[in-house]
Each structure stands twice: as structure tokens, then as C-alpha cells.
């Protein structure tokens, strides 16, 4: 790389430190980004609070579902560090691929990458490639508050306002050598800090047979179906979750 001529360094400086952005898109004054109806009850304000970090224990449909509602509502969404994001499944839930930016490998400079993405996207999904030092986390959280965006971290993030995890899940439709996956019933737990401190758990179809996300009535949960063909087995906690 050649040394930057002075005139361009000035340009680069401009690019690197954008000033405060007036007039973010979206409904002014609204403090949350919308989520799919089935997920509202899990979140203290019925949506993703702007300027906050939400963590999901592991990347998967739950993380994609949390993003889909805001994306369908017009928000730009960045996904960093998750090369295996199932965009098709997310699109089925409402994510608009046209308003999605993927950065599969943000590399060592991932905090800067996420900072840049937060300048353009209201919602950024991040799986940090490495454990983030407290200083890095605080800097990102400051950017987040300034930009009024939402950072959805998959994995552990000590400062997260809301933490979600799938504690149990079971698929229906698959037998021994026959059938195909139809629907998945999952128990999702949410807790966190402050107003989210109260632990909430909900049963969800994640996804239902039509591909959507819907609340599942515990009475309707087809335990027998999920448990087949081993009648004695109970639903197990998801490892690593």
C-alpha cells in the first residue's frame, strides 16, 4: 500500500469519523425496533430497544427471527461474523434480503467493522470472532447509543440488556427412515438486566409448518410427536445453548 498523499488522508479522516447523523430513518421518537408478534411477549418493551445490546445464546432461527420483524418494517440489517446465516429461512420469516448486508469474515478489526455497520444499519447481528475486552465492548455500546441502533450478539455479552436462549426444542415430522422435518417446537427463555430482569419463558413454533414463527400453546405442544419414537425420552436442553 502506498503512503497516503496528504489530500487523501484528509479524505480518509472524513470517512473514518463521520459526524453525528441527523434524522435517522424510521419513526422518529420510537424507542424500539419492531419484532414479529410471537416474540413481543419475550421482550420487556415489546420490541428491540434502540441503543441496546440483545444477546442470543447461539446463532440460529431465533436470532434470525428477532431481526426479521425490523427488516420487514424497513430497517437495514447487517450480519457480521456469521458465514452460515440461513438467509432463505430468514427471508421466509420476513427478512428483506435487499436490505441486508453480510460481512461473513470481519477479521481482527471486527469492532471497527461493527462500528461502521452501525452507522448504516439500524440492526447488526454479530458473532464476535473473539471474546471482546470490556473496553471494546464499552466503545461499541457508546456507538450504539449514539446511533440509536440495536446490536444483536450471538454468544455471551456481559452488558446485554436482554438475553434470550432456546432451552428446549423438538422437531415433528421425522420418523425412522420416513417423513420430513415439518415444524419445531421450542421453549425460549428471556432474562436480562433492569426492566428485563424478570425471567420470561414462552413456547414458540420455531418454525411452524408454514414456515412462520407463532406462539405455541403449551397444551398443544405435541410432546408425544416430538418424543416419538422413544416414548420414555423427555425433551433435552440444547447443548451449548
Partner 1 sequence: MNTIQPEAARIMVVCCPQLCGLADTRAGAQMFDQVLAAVTRFCPGVEAVEPGICAFGARGPARYFGGETALARKIIAAVADIGLEPRVGVADGLFAARLAAQGKGQVRVIPPGGSAEFLARHPVSVLAEQDLAGLLNRLGLRTLGDLAALPFGDVAGRFGAAGEAAHRLASGHGFLPLAVRPPAEDLSVIQEFDPPEALAEPVVFAAKALAERMHEGLAARGLSCVRVQVRAVWADGRESRRLWRHDGFLSAAAVADRVRWQLDGAPLAAEDGEPGTGGIAVLRLVPDQVVRATGHQLALWGEAVVSDRVARAAMRVQAMLGHESVLRPVPDGGRNVDEQVTHVPFGEKREPRRAVAQPWPGRIMGAAPGVVYPYGREAEVTDDEGRSVTVTGRCVISGEPAHLVIDGEPMRHVTGWAGPWPLSERWWDPVAARRRARFQLLTVDGRAWLAAVQDGRWLIEAGYW
* 167-196 binders of partner 1 (CB under 8 A): 168-171, 173-184
27 binds partner 1 (CB under 8 A): no
User: Considering the complex, what minimum distance in angstroms separates the CB of residue 109 from partner 1?
Assistant: 6
d(CA 46, CA 69): 12
User: Considering the complex, what minimum distance in angstroms separates the CB of residue 116 from partner 1?
Assistant: 4
**Subset of residues 56 to 95 that bind partner 1, contact rule: CB under 8 A:** 58-61, 64, 76, 78, 83-92
Please give the C-alpha separations between residue 19 and each of 2, 119, 147, 159, 239, in angstroms, as whole numbers.
Answer: 27, 10, 11, 26, 44
d(CA 210, CA 95): 16
- Kindly report the number of other CB atoms within 10 A of residue 153's CB atom: 25
Residue nearer to partner 1 on the CB measure, 97 or 194: 97
Bridge partners of residue 215, in order along the sequence: 204
User: Considering the complex, what minimum distance in angstroms separates the CB of residue 210 from partner 1?
Assistant: 9
User: Considering the complex, what minimum distance in angstroms separates the CB of residue 107 from partner 1?
Assistant: 6
Q: What is the CA radius of gyration of the chain?
A: 20
Confirm if 204 and 213 have CB atoms less than 8 A apart.
yes
User: Considering the complex, what minimum distance in angstroms separates the CB of residue 171 from partner 1?
Assistant: 5
Range in contact with partner 1 (rule: CB under 8 A) among 31-39, 40-48, 49-57, 96-104: 96-104
Longest Cα–Cα distance in the chain: 73
d(CA 87, CA 196): 29
Range in contact with partner 1 (rule: CB under 8 A) among 35-43, 132-140, 156-164, 223-231: 223-231
Which residue in the set 31, 37, 109, 218 belongs to the binding site for partner 1 (CB under 8 A)? 109
User: Residue with C-alpha cell 441496546?
Assistant: 52
Give how many residues touch partner 1 by CB under 8 A: 80
Residue nearer to partner 1 on the CB measure, 44 or 69: 69
Confirm if 56 and 42 have CB atoms less than 8 A apart.
no
User: Considering the complex, what minimum distance in angstroms separates the CB of residue 32 from partner 1?
Assistant: 20
Bridge partners of residue 202, in order along the sequence: 188
12 binds partner 1 (CB under 8 A): yes
**Subset of residues 119 to 158 that bind partner 1, contact rule: CB under 8 A:** 119-121
222 binds partner 1 (CB under 8 A): no
d(CA 42, CA 188): 8
Residue nearer to partner 1 on the CB measure, 42 or 213: 213
Which residue in the set 81, 106, 111, 128 belongs to the binding site for partner 1 (CB under 8 A)? 106
d(CA 167, CA 134): 27
Amino acid at each position: 500500500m502506498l503512503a497516503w498523499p496528504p489530500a487523501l488522508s484528509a479524505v480518509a479522516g472524513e470517512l473514518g469519523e463521520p459526524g453525528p447523523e441527523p434524522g435517522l430513518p424510521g419513526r422518529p421518537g420510537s424507542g424500539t425496533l419492531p419484532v414479529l408478534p410471537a416474540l413481543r411477549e419475550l421482550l420487556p418493551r415489546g420490541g428491540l430497544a434502540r441503543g441496546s445490546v440483545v444477546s442470543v445464546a447461539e446463532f440460529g432461527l431465533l436470532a434470525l427471527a428477532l431481526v426479521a420483524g425490523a427488516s420487514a418494517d424497513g430497517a437495514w440489517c447487517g450480519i457480521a461474523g456469521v458465514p452460515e446465516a440461513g438467509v432463505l429461512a430468514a427471508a421466509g420469516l420476513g427478512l428483506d434480503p435487499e436490505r441486508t448486508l453480510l460481512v461473513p469474515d470481519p477479521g481482527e478489526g471486527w469492532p471497527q467493522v461493527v462500528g461502521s455497520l452501525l452507522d448504516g444499519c439500524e440492526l447488526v447481528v454479530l458473532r464476535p470472532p473473539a471474546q471482546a475486552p470490556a473496553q471494546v465492548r464499552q466503545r461499541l455500546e457508546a456507538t450504539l447509543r449514539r446511533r440509536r441502533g440495536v446490536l444483536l450478539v450471538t454468544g455471551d455479552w456481559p452488558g446485554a440488556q436482554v438475553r434470550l436462549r432456546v432451552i428446549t426444542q423438538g422437531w415433528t415430522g421425522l420418523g425412522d427412515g420416513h417423513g420430513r422435518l415439518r415444524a419445531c417446537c421450542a421453549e425460549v427463555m428471556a432474562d436480562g438486566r433492569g426492566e428485563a430482569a424478570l425471567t420470561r419463558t414462552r413456547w414458540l413454533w420455531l418454525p411452524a409448518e408454514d414456515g412462520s414463527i407463532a406462539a405455541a400453546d403449551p397444551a398443544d405442544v405435541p410432546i408425544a410427536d416430538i418424543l416419538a419414537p422413544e416414548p420414555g425420552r423427555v425433551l433435552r436442553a440444547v447443548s451449548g445453548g
